[in-house]
Chain A
Amino acid sequence: MSASATAASAWTCPFCPLACDHAGVRVGAGAEPLQLTGAECARARDALAGFTSAAALPTAEIDGRCVTLDAAIDAAVQRLAASRQPLFAGLGTDVAGLRALYPLACATGAICDAAPGDALMHGLRALQDRGQFTTTLAEVRTRADLIVFVGGLPLPAAPLIRERMGIGDAQVPQRHVVLLGPKPSDEAVLQGWAGPGVTVEVLPLHGDLFDTVSLLDALVAGRPAMAGASVPDGLRSLAQRLRAARYAVISGSTAKLPEQGALIVETLYRTINELNRSTRAAALWIGGGNGVATANQVFAWLSGVPLRSRAGPRGLEHEPLRYGSLRLIAQGAVDALLWVASFDAEAAPPDNSLPMIALGHPALADRCRRDGSIFIAVSTPGIGSTGHVFRTDGTVLMPLRAARPDALPTVAAVAQRMLAALPARSAA
């Protein structure tokens, strides 16, 4: 009787909130792009195509001129030190990157926000006000006999959502999948999910999405005032289905919710709480990819407060609305931007004319190139370096293995060097 945990490893895809680890990567030669193997996923395939098989060489630019990493870091530090109110945005990195960014944010008084921060705040504000009841992928896979997608399917954000929820596998003999508030492209996808053990249904909205979920909540709770003649049969029967399900799951993508989407999330949690008085139900939101959910978790555990916060002159301030990065940039409330996007080659910084430092995927160099911009190509966790990111359900922290290690600096390494070079500040 002797062994210790084995060290086998599987590649985890860092490019969407599902963080799938059942596929592989083929590394070819030279300029040949990385290729996905063992699974078909458009998002992973396209993201991998943004990396060459031969590791990229470190690059850094100031105002579009190639410079050494040392020079770029020196200039970045000067820029941060000169800023009266910096903004750290994007935050597309792993736990290690965020652990290193937090002390830098404290030292500079930076406001921190992820991208897309609004989608994150829909969930966070609902949680802060009313709480939540959530579930995870394995629970959905093995228990959910009713899955209701609200406000569209979480596509193309999470291409393998059907597979990861187990829709169509034999873990649950019969599942019913409902799409509340369809879009034409979603409808066709949903019909394709029907098959042995899976029935599907599309329900139109009754008013807007908020009106619809409010009405559904009233129907589930059996509030008689709402049981007027104008209630569509489809919603009435959905309420009945929810009450009759053994384990109903409400899902969707917070990025697809309209402004004030927190109110929709809150209403759905009220419905879930009501259902849990007699049967079982839970929510699973699909989102928080590209390090967004990870950034929120890490900043919350270190400081106590989640994103859209700063260690400012008055103290630790958390402002879920005022500290939105687009709003701050539009209002001229910040005078420097540190943009972090190590996963997504499409995650260009928002339009701005601020002094900018971008720690980005190598492919972002073009879109960051302008006067007043410092660009440092950073390693992508899961491709060029190891790391950790949270999966969409917020409880599984996935290990990222390097598909093909590179020599690009990690966000953590750059942030640590910047902090070390920053002139010391006095205590508040």
Chain B
Amino acid sequence: MSAILIRGGRLIDPLNRIDAVRDVVVRDGRIAAPIPGENYAETIDATGCVVMAGGIDMHTHIGGGKVNLARLLMAEDHRDGANPIALPDNLLELASCGTCAPGTLATGYRYVEMGYTAAFEPAMVPSNARHAHMEMGDVPVLDHGAYVMLGSDELFLELLAQGGPDLKNFDQIRDYTAWTINASKAMGVKVVNPGGISAFKFNQRKLDVDEKHVRWEVTPRQVVHALARALKELGVPHPLHIHGSNLGVPGNIRSTLDTIAALEGLPAHLTHIQFHAYGTEGPKKFSSAALQIAEAVNANPQISIDIGQIMFGQTVTASGDTMRQHAQSDLANPRKWVGADIELMAGCGVVPFRYREQSYVNALQWVIGLEIFLLVKNPWQVVLTTDHPNGGPFTSYPHLIRLLMDRSFREEQLAKLHPDVVAGCALKSITRELTMEEIAVMTRSGPAKLLGLKDRGHLAEGAAADIAIYRERSDREAMFRTPEWVFKDGTLVAKSGTLLATPVGGTHFVEPGYDPAIEKTLRKHWKDHAAINFDNVAITHDELCSCCNGGRLLPAECFTGGEA
């Protein structure tokens, strides 16, 4: 039994309310109590360093159909002008490249080098679940999981329509939701443009929160409420993950506030909220609604958000929201895009974007994201994301952290933007600088809590030894770019930006119970409409194992009774 001592570092462990110089002992892949007189196999001198749990990105498009389409589309991202991307120097790394559309191998390598140890794919289409798990299994080192998409699938909308105003068939909807989570081995459920992806297939071009789907005559309000309620009753730890209506549309703050209202107090996570926080004020009829968002989040402690901060430069947006991606496809840069209607379940749209500092709209998007970060009071309700790659690649996180922690740096960057945005924005008068502890909450402790990962995101005895150790530096970007040491389940996986080991990560998922009688309804639906045998839909544990490359299966517990 070999143990590791991490000595003299400043331990920042917000979940356990620790911010103090304290030694940490790792034994058998877990945080352990020191044993007097124990000989350590290795002692890490972390003096002058900050010790945190490994980073957890709870919303990053790392694997599955649309991510691979983004790779195929973005040939530019996989060469350096006319030259190929050089092979890695490190023999542990296989050739893999890309920044906004990286290969799965590169995705794992780059995350680990930044001190992240888990990442969650937020938009797994049920019919594409095997593929998504395969790709995640090929992301080295990181633990992973996915939220399965529901709410624009024809069966859900049909059931919702059948239920009528008082949703008398709610049990069926709840069982179908649970069945889908089990069948696809998901960690939660995401709804994308509720009902809207389906509506686009029926040639509807927009769907407001109280607007009826042309075919099923149900509204996004009904979709959101039914799914949020189902997850609550099932005890799924991560509440409904919502990509709201009208993404990117000026004035969509109305839809976002309506969506929060539709929840009627049920818990939910509103994702890439920056893209849903636009007003219509000012000469360009496009303005920041960050303050309204912040007020709503501050007033609703059962709501959490991630930001989807945009970062300037080239990226590609990959979304399940076919309706909105189609609407924005004329803005594609370079001028090409991919769309798909998928299996009566979902859709996808992949549109390259280049965010420019001198674009009024892009500059304001950048400002809105930062305003929300700084105006929401409780960091446990906010997760740091760029919605990789939609707002920007995940490799820009250290830069984002510096923007949040360093006001003078933020103002320097702000001054480079479109002058009308600089002149009119509230951001320039916001003085808040996030603390190290707040960053730790937004990048690991908060996501772990929101996902129900009891042994991750903190460093109390018994927790998994996923650890990132950063050398204290006043340049926070440099500090968070390259941790000195990164441990995954107690194995040293990176040192000073060099990968040292590439263990296969585990798969997080939940297994809520349901009444198997629902399968009769599902079997009939599949026979009448689908293009796969119903018996081939569900992924078993054994199959998940082979999809995930033999990584550990990490089922998370559902809440029961009073916990929920």
Residues of A within 8 A of B (CB): 1-10, 12, 21-22, 95-96, 99, 102-103, 106, 124, 127-139, 141-143, 164, 171, 246-247, 273, 276, 279-280, 282, 297-298, 300-306, 311-312, 314-318, 386, 388, 390, 393-399, 426-428
Q: How many angstroms from the CA of A21 to the CA of B519 in the assembled complex?
A: 19
State how many angstroms separate the Cβ of A412 from the closest Cβ of chain B.
Answer: 10
Given contacts A132-B338, A134-B340, A388-B130, contact A3 B513 (CB under 8 A): yes
A138 x B72 contact (CB < 8 A): no
Interface of B is mostly: mixed
Enumerate 21 A-B pairs (CB-CB under 8 Å) in ascending A order: A4-B511, A6-B519, A6-B535, A6-B538, A102-B94, A106-B95, A133-B338, A134-B338, A136-B340, A137-B343, A138-B532, A171-B528, A276-B326, A300-B103, A304-B96, A304-B97, A304-B101, A305-B78, A395-B131, A396-B531, A397-B130
Render B70-87 as a binary contact track against A, CB cut-off 8 A, 1 for contact. Answer: 011101011110011111
Q: How many angstroms from the CA of A397 to the CA of B511 in the assembled complex?
A: 22
Q: Which of B87, B105, B182 contacts A428 (CB 8 A)?
A: B87
Q: How many angstroms from the CA of A124 to the CA of B71 in the assembled complex?
A: 11
Q: In the complex, what residues of A have CB within 8 A of residue B104's CB?
A: 301-302
Most chain A CB neighbours (cut-off 10 Å) among B75, B200, B338, B511? B75
Q: How many angstroms from the CA of A161 to the CA of B547 in the assembled complex?
A: 29
A129 x B336 contact (CB < 8 A): yes
B106 x A395 contact (CB < 8 A): no
B130 x A318 contact (CB < 8 A): no
Interface of A is mostly: mixed
A138 x B530 contact (CB < 8 A): yes
B87 x A316 contact (CB < 8 A): yes
Render B269-311 as a binary contact track against A, CB cut-off 8 A, 1 for contact. Answer: 0000000000000000000000000000000000000000000
Q: How many angstroms from the CA of A139 to the CA of B130 in the assembled complex?
A: 19
B156 within 8 A of A: no
Q: In the complex, what residues of A have CB within 8 A of residue B106's CB?
A: 304
Q: How many angstroms from the CA of A171 to the CA of B525 in the assembled complex?
A: 12
Given contacts A1-B513, A282-B341, A302-B138, contact A131 B105 (CB under 8 A): no
Render B521-537 as a binary contact track against A, CB cut-off 8 A, 1 for contact. Answer: 00000001111110110
B336 x A10 contact (CB < 8 A): no
B543 within 8 A of A: yes
B533 x A136 contact (CB < 8 A): no
State how many angstroms separate the Cβ of B522 from the closest Cβ of chain A.
Answer: 11
Q: How many angstroms from the CA of A1 to the CA of B86 in the assembled complex?
A: 55
Given contacts A131-B337, A141-B529, A316-B87, contact A136 B94 (CB under 8 A): no
Residues of B within 8 A of A (CB): 63, 65, 67-69, 71-73, 75, 77-80, 83-91, 94-98, 101-106, 125, 127-128, 130-131, 134-135, 138, 154, 175, 179, 182-183, 200-203, 326, 329, 332, 336-344, 350, 511, 513-516, 519, 528-533, 535-536, 538-540, 543, 546-547, 549
B201 x A143 contact (CB < 8 A): yes
B326 x A395 contact (CB < 8 A): no
Q: In the complex, what residues of A have CB within 8 A of residue B531's CB?
A: 136-138, 141, 164, 396
A133 x B529 contact (CB < 8 A): no
Q: In the complex, what residues of B have CB within 8 A of residue A134's CB?
A: 338-341
B88 x A427 contact (CB < 8 A): yes
Given contacts A6-B538, A10-B535, A282-B340, contact A106 B94 (CB under 8 A): yes
State how many angstroms separate the Cβ of A56 from the closest Cβ of chain B.
Answer: 23
Given contacts A388-B134, A427-B91, contact A139 B342 (CB under 8 A): yes
Q: How many angstroms from the CA of A302 to the CA of B107 in the assembled complex?
A: 9
